[in-house]
């Protein structure tokens, strides 16, 4: 129980203040990995008594950099591409989670590794159009694989991201623009049926461009907080 409390306090403190250069003290990452029960790969981990780490893998999380290896995604008038922004955020999420004891796979949009992929969770990072739509076209949206074998876990992952992401970024959930491309995202049907997966559009490349390009560490922090909320089974605010 003492380890559980220590891990909880360490994660709550470090991941709230994390920037690209922030790391946990030496040894804490190993404690986190030690405390996660990985006997059932792909299921929600629970904090358990410490076990020897010599023959146990680090807990795995998949991060898809939207459009990477396939196309540019949305393209802005000045040449900025969605794929570039997606990759920047994805790499920050990967680095932050790895620095704190997780094994993270950075995946392409149509990565062959996604077929049957098993992990604690998978998040696919995208962004919305560079075009000006209206003054309300700002904010984020997230959807999960709700018609697969991991529906309950996907619902929980989505709830965690919806709760944590705006606390770091100040962006609101833009429910009105969640499309079929999100709710029926192709990778939902590629990963292992027991692996929870969600797709997030972290903002609109028009009205939200400032935070997406000038403060991507806040965007990455919000995504990471959502993942950790799910992995550690933390409570979410009622809505």
**Domains (range + CATH), the chain:** 2-231 (3.40.630.40)
Amino acid 5: pLDDT: 38
Sheet order of strands, 197-204 included: 103-107, 60-65, 121-128, 197-204, 141-144
pTM of the predicted model as reported, rounded to 2 decimal places = 0.78
Query: Are 140 and 183 contacting, i.e. CB atoms less than 8 angstroms apart?
Result: no
Confidence class for position 55, pLDDT limits 50, 70, 90: low
Per residue in 123-160, pLDDT tens? 999 999 999 999 999 999 999 998 988 999 999 999 99
Task: Give yes or no for a contact between 140 and 169, defined as CB atoms under 8 angstroms apart.
Answer: yes
Kindly state the DSSP code that residue 80 receives in the 8-state scheme. -
> Given pLDDT bands bounded at 50, 70 and 90, which one contains residue 23?
very low
What is the model's pLDDT at position 239?
A: 56
In the numeric block, which tokens belong to residue 10?
């360490």
Tokens 């792909």 sit at which residue?
Answer: 42
Amino acid 99: pLDDT: 85
Burial class (CB in 10 A: 0-12, 13-18, 19+), 76: middle
CB contact at 8 A, 81 and 140: no
- Confidence check: pLDDT of 31 > 80: no
Is residue 212 scored above 50 in pLDDT? yes
pLDDT in tens, 213-232: 999 999 999 999 999 999 99
**Tens-place pLDDT, residues 97-130:** 998 799 999 999 999 999 999 999 999 999 999 9
Condensed to tens digits (0 to 9), the pLDDT of residues 157-203 reads 999 999 999 999 999 999 989 999 999 999 999 999 999 999 999 99
Is pLDDT of 40 > 50?
no
Q: Number of C-alpha atoms within 13 angstroms, CB side, residue 70?
A: 17
Mean pLDDT of 24-53: 35
C-alpha 165/C-alpha 28 separation (Å) is 24
Q: Of 93, 88, 99, 82, whose CA–CA distance to 23 is shortest? A: 99
Q: Provide the sign of the torsion angle of the four alpha carbons 233, 64, 98, 89, taken in this order.
A: negative
Residue 237 reports pLDDT greater than 90: no
Tens digit of each residue's pLDDT (9 = 90 or more) over 59-97: 999 999 999 999 999 999 999 999 999 999 999 999 999
């Amino acid at each position: 129980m003492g380890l559980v409390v220590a891990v909880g306090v360490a994660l709550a403190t470090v991941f709230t203040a994390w920037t690209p250069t922030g790391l946990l003290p030496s040894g804490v990452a190993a404690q986190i990995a030690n405390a996660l029960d990985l006997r059932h790969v792909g299921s929600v981990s629970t904090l358990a008594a410490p076990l020897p780490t010599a023959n146990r893998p680090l807990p795995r999380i998949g991060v898809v950099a939207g459009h990477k290896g396939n196309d540019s995604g949305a393209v802005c008038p000045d040449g900025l591409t969605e794929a570039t922004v997606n990759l920047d955020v994805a790499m920050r999420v990967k680095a932050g989670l790895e620095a704190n004891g997780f094994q993270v796979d950075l995946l392409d949009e149509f990565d062959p590794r996604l077929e049957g992929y098993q992990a604690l969770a998978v998040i696919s990072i995208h962004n919305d159009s560079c075009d000006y739509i209206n003054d309300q076209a700002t904010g984020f949206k997230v959807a999960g694989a709700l018609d697969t074998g991991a529906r309950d876990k996907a619902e929980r992952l989505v709830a965690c991201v919806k709760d944590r992401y705006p606390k770091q970024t100040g962006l609101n959930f833009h429910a009105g623009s969640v499309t079929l491309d999100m709710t029926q995202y192709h990778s939902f049907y590629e990963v292992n049926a027991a692996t929870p997966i969600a797709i997030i559009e972290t903002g609109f490349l028009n009205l939200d461009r400032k935070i997406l390009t000038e403060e991507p560490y806040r965007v990455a922090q919000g995504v990471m907080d959502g993942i950790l909320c799910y992995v550690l089974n933390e409570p979410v605010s009622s809505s």
